[in-house]
Homo-oligomer: A and B are copies of this chain.
């Protein structure tokens, strides 16, 4: 039986403050809950609205559809809601490439970047504390199961970059062409904010400024941060 306190807790997790406080986040949908379980993410609570589904999720609890609706962030709840533990950061020295996001604000961009990291086998994503929360329901629905395979941490970027021994690549409009780079086996790729790019403090930690060559007539527009990340991760992996 789900308790009133549990309902209150799940509802509170719509706010980032309570997600951080409790170390928990919510996903909805049979497919994504299954993927997270499959990837070994630890569940705190799994709620289903149909007795047939109880058997499909070990340890799940049956709740009334109306109660599930109350807890859901979706306009059309889909009958399965999972609450999972947020994992702690692991050691960057054990992975090859790490993506670092400096104040990416759009949930759609972050969701796309998480999917890209999963596609290109990037196991660690480090976000500045002012990057949009990856456990934001809009981001989670966009990334689907990718969130289970990419470890995401929110850190002070300057502190993090000070400690690393990896070369730090940053994407800049005026950087050197990525095509002419000898890309190493291991490194860090820093991507900046949608409007302002990489911040001054983080810029100072960048050891190599790179850019994506432009082939059309010159314009002042830059590429969207998610499409630029797609191109640069492809360049890193193809090399």
Copies in the complex: 2
Please give, as numbers and ranges, the residues of chain B lying within 8 Å of A235 by CB-CB distance. Answer: 234
CA distance A215 to B149 in the complex (A): 12
A108-127 to B contact mask, C-beta < 8 Å, 1/0 = 10001001111111100000
Confirm or deny: A93 has a beta carbon within 8 angstroms of a beta carbon on chain B: no
Query: Please, what's the 1-or-0 string for A206-235, where 1 marks a CB less than 8 Å from any CB in chain B?
Result: 000000111111010101101110110011
A238 at the interface (CB under 8 A from B): yes
State whether the Cβ of A153 lies closer than 8 Å to any Cβ in chain B: no
Question: What is the distance, in angstroms, from A95's C-beta to the closest C-beta of chain B?
Answer: 12
Report yes or no: A214 in contact with B149, Cβ–Cβ below 8 A.
Answer: no
| Contacts A115-B223, A120-B214 supplied; 7 other A-B pairs, CB < 8 Å | A112-B227, A116-B227, A119-B214, A146-B221, A149-B217, A149-B219, A212-B234
